[in-house]
Chains A and B, each alone.
Chain A
Amino acid sequence: GNSVTQMEGPVTLSEEAFLTINCTYTATGYPSLFWYVQYPGEGLQLLLKATKADDKGSNKGFEATYRKETTSFHLEKGSVQVSDSAVYFCALSDDTGGFKTIFGAGTRLFVKA
């Protein structure tokens, strides 16, 4: 079945450092890929998405490219801020039964001033 694997956290960075959070997936067909972010005590919100191979999703300085050949969707940001501290979830969705979304385990990011 479909699955998502993302790097374990927590990831601790200093402000203005470069961020990479790795995500790989297993899926049949052509899933859509997502990154969601969860700030403390809140629900998840969509950060960015990509719907086909080689698409690049971007938002708020974050980027991720849909790499079908490596089945990856790594999240990157060139310069993190303290306000980026949150849990980041990689996810995939296909068009089968109820449009379910499969989430990775989440990676907690701490950014120090």
Chain B
Amino acid sequence: SQTIHQWPATLVQPVGSPLSLECTVEGTSNPNLYWYRQAAGRGLQLLFYSVGIGQISSEVPQNLSASRPQDRQFILSSKKLLLSDSGFYLCAWSSVQPKNIQYFGAGTRLSVL
């Protein structure tokens, strides 16, 4: 069966520090991968998605970047965190079939202080 791992679960970082969140998927190949941010009490904002290794599409201009160094690995990064980067970050994957269903990780709660 397929599983998605996302870590860390909780992170507290000072303003101006770097960020690296990692997401890996097991049990499937060539998944579509996604990073979302969920602000407190609000909906999901799609940040990045990837349809293959090295292929990253950014949905909104921001202080963050994403990379996909391996087929089932998706990394969210920042060189210098801002207060506004605080939130709940979710990684998700979808397969070729059924291609519309997304499977989410447990999320990382990031607090920038």
Residues of A within 8 A of B (CB): 32, 34, 36, 41-46, 49, 51, 89, 93, 95, 97-101, 103-106, 108
Contacts and interface: CB of A to CB of B under 8 A. Distances in A.
A101 B106 contact: no
Contacts of B49: 98, 100
B104 interface: yes
Interface in B54-108: 57, 90, 92, 94, 99-107
A41 B107 CA distance: 8
A32 B43 contact: no
B57 A104 contact: no
Interface residues of B, number: 23
B13 interface: no
A66 B91 CA distance: 27
- Secondary structure call for the B interface: strand
B106 A43 contact: yes
Contacts of B43: 89, 103-106
Contacts of B42: 105-106
Interface of B: 6, 32, 41-44, 46, 49-51, 57, 90, 92, 94, 99-107
B29 to A, nearest CB: 16
Nearest to A4: B43
A99 B106 contact: no
Given A42-B106, A43-B106, A99-B94, A32 B100 contact: yes
B107 A101 contact: no
A77 B29 CA distance: 36
Given A89-B43, A104-B43, A99 B32 contact: yes
A98 B44 contact: no
B57 A45 contact: no
17 contacts: A42-B107, A43-B106, A44-B90, A46-B102, A46-B103, A49-B100, A49-B101, A89-B44, A95-B99, A98-B49, A98-B50, A99-B32, A99-B94, A99-B99, A101-B94, A101-B100, A105-B43
